[in-house]
Amino acid sequence: MGDLDKKVGVVMGAGPGIGRATALALAEAGAHVVVAARNVERLELLAAELADRTGQLIIPLEADLGDLVSCKDLIAETEERFGRLDILVNVATGGGSHAPIIDADWDGWRKAFECNVIGNLELSRQAARIMMRHGGGSIIQIGTFGTHSRPVRQGSYTATKEALLSASQTLAKELGPDNIRVNVVTPGYTTGPNLDGLFAGVVQRTGESVEEVSHRLAKTAALRTHVSPEDIAAAVLFLAGPGAARITGVELPVTAGQR
């Protein structure tokens, strides 16, 4: 039995990378887990793999962060199946466009806000209503280091994540009396397909090798390394568990000391 024995968690955005690592960490700690995303076939494979590895009940549910009805249905079905909900981890995101702000497509910005802010907050408030009936719970948002570094051409993404951070810290104050904690984990450069894509873009612009780009970016962190999805999952697991029972309203950077 782990720290989360008999708890129920939802991981929204349980695709490869942080979502998968988080779902696995929760299950290994003893929780039953709902893995949610838009790709049902991939979810079913993930659920089967995690159930086999951990012996926990892992349920795949299709959900779309940009659809408020879908968000509401996801939480309602979780309660219907398990009778409770203790942990919500919001990993899913919608990045919007990658144009400079002067050339911005406002429809893309609206979509980013609908996903990254309103969608996440809809999931959070629906989950909170269930947690209130069962003595509390933990809501964990996944942020981005971009809210600190402000990279060019990512204005819609970083602005929405900044708004989610602010709203989550307000939500922590509002839900505190009900013993519901709300925190944000902010990853640094995290290994996986997204970071590989970033490297490829830099390589195309600079002519460096992938290894040179990776090494150069790693040197900008105090620990001279990138972080892994498992590093992010470990932080989520801590915030979800009893060791963080008095922690709420914080942003926890898992960045290897990136500045």
Question: What is the structure's pLDDT at 153?
Answer: 84
Residue 36 β-bridge partners: 12, 61
pTM: 0.96
Question: How distant is the alpha carbon of residue 116 from its chain centre?
Answer: 10
pLDDT tens, position by position, 63-119:
999 999 999 999 999 999 999 999 999 999 986 778 899 999 999 999 999 999 999
Residue 183 β-bridge partners: 140
CA gap 259, 245 in Å, rounded = 28
Q: Which of 113, 145, 157, 189 is catalytic?
A: 157
DSSP symbols for 66-105: T-HHHHHHHHHHHHHHHS---EEEE--------S-GGG--
Domain with CATH 3.40.50.720 in the chain: 8-189+229-253
For the chain, the average pLDDT equals 95
DSSP state of 224: S
Question: What is the structure's pLDDT at 94?
Answer: 86
Question: What is the structure's pLDDT at 207?
Answer: 95
Active site (annotated) includes residue 189: no
Question: What is the structure's pLDDT at 166?
Answer: 98
Residues in the chain, pLDDT under 50? none
Domain 8-189+229-253 has CATH 1.10.357.10: no
Q: Taking each helix axis from N to C terminus, what angle separates 106-113 and 155-175, rounded to the nearest 10 degrees?
A: 30
CA gap 43, 246 in Å, rounded = 33
Question: What is the structure's pLDDT at 154?
Answer: 84
Tell me how crowded residue 175 is: count the other CB atoms within 10 A of its CB. 22
